[in-house]
Structure 1
């Protein structure tokens, strides 16, 4: 079987999404802060988006 329109290593792939340069830094820091919080009341961190 083959996937003609597969995104992996495909020239047909769209440009990667663009975001503010510090967006990923802020998201990663938020996750790290949540992990290191010894008094958190939630034990699942839901990350969603494109």
Structure 2
């Protein structure tokens, strides 16, 4: 997994190694090439309301 940001890479690695496929973050650009589903906090809260 090649990511532009070390902290983002750590978050992605921990998520994937724990079978988590969603990350909620304001830093969407660092996860563009990952296989994770990325939500902004506002988007995730809206999704929870449905």
- The TM-score normalised by the length of structure 1 is 0.32
| Highest RCO, 1 vs 2 (Cα 8 Å, sep ≥ 6) | 2
TM-score normalised by length of structure 2: 0.32
- Structure with the greater alpha carbon radius of gyration: 1
Q: Counting strand residues as a fraction of each chain, which structure ranks higher? A: 2
